[in-house]
Amino acid sequence: MTAYSAIASNKRRSASLILVFAVLVLAVGWAWDQLEGGGTAIVPIAGVVALFSALMGYFAGDKIALAVNGAIRAQKEEALELYRLVENLSITAGLPMPKVYVIPSPAINAFATGRDPQHASIAVTEGALQKLDRSELEGVLAHEMSHIQNYDIRLMMIVAIFVGMIALLGDWFLRSRLWGFHSRDRGRSNVHAIVAIAGFLLLLLSPIVAKLIQLAMSRRREFLADASAVLLTRYPEGLASALQKIQASHEPVETANSATAHLYIANPLSGRTLSTLFSTHPPIKERITALSQMG
């Protein structure tokens, strides 16, 4: 498999997941309409609320992520090699130079944030700067630069809108039942009753399904960023070696939390997840295998 074919495959899978999200939102709206007897405006209201909250995160999320993770703006004189690597990758990718930050943590990790290439930042841990050689660090930075190049932050904002909308609908539905509101359509046939039960189950399960799709999307974008990084560096061994060191270290990033874990190149919470299905990142072993197959 070449880097180009890996990128094409991951883009197709990401598009498929977005389509599934859209269908799920429509299905949830249909379920609510069936249960409430039609004519409800709750779906567009939930959409507006989810859109507003997602936009807030979109425009201010990078500053929040950097602050929460204790990232400190790097001075060029003090991190000259880091600046040069980021600058060279920016030129290669045809992107503006992102702001560069350092996270005071001995773990090997990094993340990119920002709504577009003009407002992007890359943060690297002190552990990555100290424990990775030049080619390994370049591979990690290329991965993060690829997230910027592929507009992953913008894509995940769209996904967040879908997830937020579905979660709101599910929450409001449960609250409406607890508060004693019921469907206006009392005279349902047996068929309508079956449809209503199906809608009820869909509204209960849809937030879980939406979250699983969001996590699957996050894992797809990690594979895509790995493949895109290879095109920038033309040296998959560098990123693969860095991932091997990350896998061997098992060091968590002390300032990381579940809200920002998906931003990092590898799970910063020391890989503590129930299964791959509930993880923001694919297994490092699978990523190394994929990189080894790229020519």
Question: How is the chain split into domains, by residue range?
Answer: 3-292
More confident residue, 58 or 294: 294
Residue 123's SS3 state is: strand
Would you call 136 a catalytic residue per the annotation?
no
- Compute the distance between CA of residue 2 and CA of residue 279 in angstroms, rounded to an integer: 26
pLDDT tens digits for range 250-278 = 789 999 888 788 899 999 986 555 456 77
- Compute the distance between CA of residue 199 and CA of residue 35 in angstroms, rounded to an integer: 7
Instruction: Answer yes or no: are the C-beta atoms of 236 and 230 closer than 8 Å.
Output: yes
Confidence category of residue 115, pLDDT binned at 50, 70, 90: confident
- Compute the distance between CA of residue 259 and CA of residue 256 in angstroms, rounded to an integer: 8
Strands 121-125, 72-73: pairing is unpaired
How many residues are present in the chain?
A: 295
pLDDT tens digits for range 118-160 = 999 999 999 999 999 999 999 999 999 999 999 888 787 778 7
**Active-site residue (options: 78, 144, 222, 254):** 144
Residue 39's SS3 state is: coil
